[in-house]
Amino acid sequence: MSPVLARAAALPGAPQLARVRGELQLEGHALAELARRHGTPLYVYSRGAMRAALAAYQRALAGRPHLVCYAMKANSSLAVLQTFAEAGSGFDIVSAGELARVLAAGGRADRTVFSGVGKRRDEMALALEAGVRCFNVESVGELRLLDEVARAHGVRAPTSLRVNPDVDAGTHPYISTGLKSNKFGVAHGEALAAYRLAATLPGLRVEGIDCHIGSQITQIEPYLDALDRLLDLVESVEGEGIELHHIDVGGGLGITYADESPPAADELVGRLLARMDARGHGGREVLLEPGRSLVGNAGVLVTEVLYLKPGEVANFCVVDAAMNDLTRPALYDAYMGIEPCTARVDVEPVRWDVVGPVCESGDWLGRQRDLAVQVGDHLAVLSAGAYGMAMASNYNTRPRAAEVMVDGEAVHLIREREQVQDLFVGERLIPR
Ligand code: LLP
């Protein structure tokens, strides 16, 4: 059994990804059957697994003023947002487009924080009009622009500074964000001056402090280091009479793709709260921005085997999902588990490179995988609920996959398969 399957089975109260009589099932639904009904490539999510993942954070924060803001960049499909909104989650957004999605899915602006290093004036205006909970501001230039936009609207913008604590999250360089060398946040050493400035700008209302140190973090220590750096600043800022109501410690908690064993959400939160208590900050509101850990292990990508090409140096298993559907392997060299949807005993396992139809050698989903497969079989790429569909593109004029959400007995088609003609919308031929 793959580590992901083993871990899924061990999650208390979480609906299981399990193999039953040879069939890989999510919440009791056979993935091969869903693929036959809805076609491939197909994303399948467990609503129960998403709810359980959110509940773990909420349980750990119970009794404290808190807000979990789902970092929706991980998976922004409307039904996913709806699931979290209905379960009391807030949202972390990084664009006006994401704000529109939150509102379309029934989420609340006053439970939404607006992050991002490059907010435009029009995006600030829309967020102010909607009444977002807070802007996580990433530079002095942004403080000044937000002040100007807020004054033009006759309001004060709720403001938090995203501080770059300069700690190493120990993760992939593309998804590590809390180092001085990263573009994110206001440098720790410049933050106090930025708060002083913010406090004098009439269009701003200083609300809190924020950080986010990276993604797919599997250790607690970098979080504690970042929190300590943040609390040092809180003490200096408040020492100057500028009150901070909340501390946002960002997202970043890792999940199991291969053999990682990240801390559970409640363990991480417990340690953070204990550190806050120990330093006398127990009463302060805590915000979190988890993305991957709420959705990653709740979804799989199902694909069909098109061709088997055994070769001299490598054996290629060509499937109908590609780097445009799931870009993580191509972009980050990321490992994602791959399992046959229906176990076979009639063929021997062969070591395959699982590749897609896109015309790039980087178009692979998994390398050197021992799989017993035949043409026409279905494979499931595991832990694909986060940064899968949300990063999909139309490269090679490939329509994006359909998405299905299983919820107990029910199976909901939450996104129709894109059609080729959808891809031409908005394009124009030049008049002859
Ligand atoms: N807050 C902020 C400000 C962020 O930039 C991010 C992620 C999060 C929260 C959520 O982090 P999470 O809990 O999901 O780790 N595409 C990459 C991951 C990029 C993460 C970007 N920022 C991947 O597939 O690994």
Per-residue pLDDT reduced to its tens digit, 167-197: 877 766 656 666 677 788 999 999 999 999 9
CA dist., res. 27 & res. 14, Å (int): 9
201 CA to middle of ligand 1, Å?
Answer: 30
pTM recorded for the entire structure: 0.96
36 CA to middle of ligand 1, Å?
Answer: 33
CA dist., res. 181 & res. 172, Å (int): 14
CA dist., res. 404 & res. 27, Å (int): 12
- Rounded-to-10 torsion of CA 77, 80, 81, 87: 180
CA torsion sign, 182 to 187 to 188 to 191? negative
The residue whose C-alpha atom lies closest to atom 16 belonging to ligand 1 is: 387
392 within ligand 1 shell (Cβ under 6 A): no
377 CA to middle of ligand 1, Å?
Answer: 33
- pLDDT tier at 16 (50, 70, 90 boundaries)? confident
Q: Which of 113, 183, 289, 295 to mutate to test the pocket of ligand 1 (most atoms within 8 A of CB)?
A: 289
Q: Residue 250's closest CA among 281, 280, 208, 282?
A: 208
CA torsion sign, 354 to 355 to 361 to 366? negative
289 within ligand 1 shell (Cβ under 6 A): yes
CA dist., res. 213 & res. 190, Å (int): 17
Q: 333-377, pLDDT tens digit by residue?
A: 999 999 999 999 999 999 999 999 999 999 999 999 999 999 999
Specify the DSSP class assigned to residue 420: G
Task: For the sheet with 29-30, list strands across it.
Answer: 17-20, 23-26, 29-30
In DSSP terms, which residues pair with 376 in a beta bridge?
Answer: none
Residue 45 and residue 38 in contact, taking contact as beta carbons nearer than 8 Å: no
User: Which pLDDT score, from 0 to 100, does residue 15 have?
Assistant: 55
* Burial of 219: CB neighbours in 10 Å, binned 0-12, 13-18, 19+: middle
DSSP 3-state assignment of 102? helix
Q: 261-286, pLDDT tens digit by residue?
A: 999 999 999 999 999 999 999 999 99
Q: 219-228, pLDDT tens digit by residue?
A: 999 999 999 9
User: Which pLDDT score, from 0 to 100, does residue 13 have?
Assistant: 47
Angle between helices 47-61 and 265-278 in degrees, nearest 10:
20
Q: Residue 320's closest CA among 351, 281, 354?
A: 354
Considering the candidates 134, 317, 341, 359, report the single residue annotated as catalytic. 359
User: Which pLDDT score, from 0 to 100, does residue 183 have?
Assistant: 82
User: What residues have CB less than 8 Å from 356, skipping those under 6 apart?
Assistant: 318, 319, 320, 321, 322, 323, 324, 325, 363, 364, 365
Share of the chain above pLDDT 90, in %: 91
Flag whether pLDDT at 8 surpasses 90: no
214 CA to middle of ligand 1, Å?
Answer: 7
- pLDDT tier at 5 (50, 70, 90 boundaries)? low
Flag whether pLDDT at 12 surpasses 50: no
**Two tokens at 197?**
């400035």
Cis peptide bond prior to 399, omega within 30° of 0:
no
DSSP 3-state assignment of 240? coil
Looking at every residue in the chain, the average pLDDT score rounds to 95
Flag whether pLDDT at 64 surpasses 60: yes
In this structure, the number of other CB atoms found within 10 A of the CB of residue 195 comes to: 24
- Looking at per-residue confidence, does 259 or 294 come out higher? 294
Annotation says 134 is catalytic = no
